[in-house]
A and B are shown apart, each in its own frame.
Chain A
């Protein structure tokens, strides 16, 4: 069995007294795209930052390519960490404002001290192939369009020769007519360079189309994870059901009835007792308020943290 591209075990991330991520585990297999879905404040950005090495874990273990980071010597840790590259949500602000596009794209090579005429030619060719022609090299980030900045950031990430790319809302702010182009590009790069993606997005249509597996987060924890197909067709956790039902699609018939949740997302400063979703859950019972459900693997391979995960038949009755 090949090693996992990345694994995160029992990760806890605290900011002061607030626990943003609470005992979260993720596994990313080589060559796959894993979607991480959740609403603002659920901790998905903290997870992305921790995986990219920008946010230390308060506890838990991160392993890249089967090798644990904790306990590795600092130099090794840096090499391992470099295997994970992050595409920032706002690509334009992730480019150093006083460097030209050429310098920005050469930067990863210089950082790794692998800059040479050949390595630069390779990067320049990659840039050219995704529509960043030579005429852009002397430009500064503020002279680029949003799409161009996104591509420059992508070239930089690829130039670091990663095995994993964490994409934080890669389609945010893109028109629907160009969104497909970026997603196609990401996929062809994944296949060509044997990358794995952690794809963070709140756009459920996109996640449903481009990911292989998906994990749903609610208040710092994963409530359900499994193959994307499975999860979209028969969501087991009531939160997943509500989330998917509230997704707006053009075909209003197919989606079935919308489940509108009550109330607001509770504050992560004082997460509810028991199941964190119980206060807004349409099917909550007494036990949900007192006992926190464990993330358990069902017979069909997916994992759900719910005392009363819905049976396949029940879901079909609801959406059918």
Chain B
């Protein structure tokens, strides 16, 4: 098997404080294969966005980043060298939650779609770049693309802007596309359109994708595998189907129990599931299992760091419980 596109092992990120430092990522492992779409799911405070920002080299200067291994497309130590910054916009592209932040309000969409290609095709004429931009814009589902090329960002609705940003990502043809909550701000039918555009992008470019989201539904829709994060640690990872069908970590199980399925048979009198308690303070992490305080299945051993276990191909979790249960 060929080497994965992204191989990160034991990624630690902490912010030094006056007395204690806040440990926001603790020994995170992430592997993204060529052409693979990986979902990174977790609630607020899980550190999922920190992982994305670390990959983009966008963490604040005072962040303390270290990794056992950080390889991107065969190059090692991408965090240590300033390489992450050089990769950004060429080999790694990003789709943010708020597409307006990625667009310059002063230039037309066409101009911006051309500028983004300059680094990849420095010798092409403007007309060639324009034609390609127009074609890609139509491909992501923009109606009336030739006319919309001359429009400014404020003339687009949120869903259309998000499609422009996806078109930009497509034009760069990155090896890795990071989408951070790409549909959170959108309405359901628009979300469906953007999800369609992202799928089309995957089929066309063979780019790898990292989808960061709190929505298990979106990840189930777009990704091949999923990484479940809680309080800065990976608690479970594996193929989407396997994790959803047979979640092994109690946190994953609790999270999936909170998902509401309006089509399932339910007793309206029955209470909705919740996870009582709060995420531990990153400055005061417990020494044992990070989820133990909120876990309904915790026992004495959970005060020690849980082992990393692997069941079948690529399905990993870290918990004291037995997978065969």
Contact = CB atoms under 8 A, between A and B. Distances in A.
Contact of B272 (A209, A251, A252): A209
At the interface, is chain A mostly helix, strand, loop or mixed? Answer: helix
A311 interface: no
A176 B272 CA distance: 11
Contacts of B217: 247-250
B73 to A, nearest CB: 31
Interface stretch (B9-17, B185-193, B302-310): B185-193
B271 A263 contact: no
Given A242-B189, A264-B159, A177 B220 contact: no
A80 to B, nearest CB: 30
Given A209-B262, A232-B263, A246 B274 contact: no
Nearest to A261: B189
B321 to A, nearest CB: 20
Interface string B28-58: 0000000000000001100000000000000
A250 B272 contact: no
A219 to B, nearest CB: 13
B216 A250 contact: yes
Residue of A179, A184, A246, A254 with highest tally of chain B CB at under 10 A? A246
B36 to A, nearest CB: 18
A175 B43 contact: yes
Interface string A153-181: 00000000000000000000001111111
Contacts of A152: none
Contacts of A180: 258, 271-274
A213 to B, nearest CB: 12
A205 B191 contact: no
B115 interface: no
Contacts of B272: 179-181, 183-184, 209-210
Contacts of B256: 250
B261 A251 contact: yes
A250 B259 CA distance: 8
A320 to B, nearest CB: 12
Nearest to B141: A260
A250 B262 contact: no
A204 interface: yes
B215 A177 contact: no
A184 B192 CA distance: 29
Contacts of B143: 262-264
Contacts of B44: 175
A8 interface: no
Contact of A207 (B187, B244, B261, B262): B262
Nearest to A209: B260
B255 A208 contact: no
Residue of B160, B189, B216, B217 with highest tally of chain A CB at under 10 A? B189
B172 interface: no
17 contacts: A176-B255, A177-B255, A177-B258, A177-B275, A179-B272, A180-B273, A184-B274, A208-B263, A209-B260, A209-B266, A209-B272, A245-B192, A247-B188, A248-B217, A250-B220, A250-B244, A250-B256
Interface of A: 39-40, 175-181, 183-184, 202, 204-210, 232-233, 242-243, 245-252, 254-255, 258-265
Given A245-B192, A249-B220, 13 more contacts: A39-B190, A40-B158, A175-B44, A175-B214, A177-B43, A177-B275, A184-B274, A202-B187, A247-B217, A248-B217, A258-B196, A260-B192, A262-B143
